[in-house]
Amino acid sequence: MSEPVKTPEDCTTMLDVRAGVDETDRQLMKLLETRFGYMRAAARIKPERGAVRDEERKASVIDAVEQAAVKAGLPANAIGKIWNDLVETSIAYELVEWDRLRD
């Protein structure tokens, strides 16, 4: 059985850091799986394909993430770009799912 992953503050070696990063990546993948599940749900629920892209909602999501990044002392602009890519990928995925469900 492996040792529990240390918090960033408790890391004393690069092995500790890498174990924490790897565990964080596993958790992020689980969260992305859940997020894309919601995209499948949205594709099922939205009656029109044109409703998939919602620029106002996209801007709101990115703004909220950038504000949270500022509060956390993280690079808000860079995280906003990551989220823009995430949202665009989510929209593309939702469009594919919307089409698949109606073929």
Closest CA to 53 of 81, 15, 10, 91: 91
Q: From the annotation, which residues make up the binding site for substrate?
A: 18, 35, 46, 94
Cα separation values, 21 from 9, 15, 71, 75, 77, Å: 13, 10, 22, 18, 22
Measured in Å, how far apart are the chain's first and last C-alpha atoms? 48
Q: From the annotation, which residues make up the binding site?
A: 18, 35, 46, 94
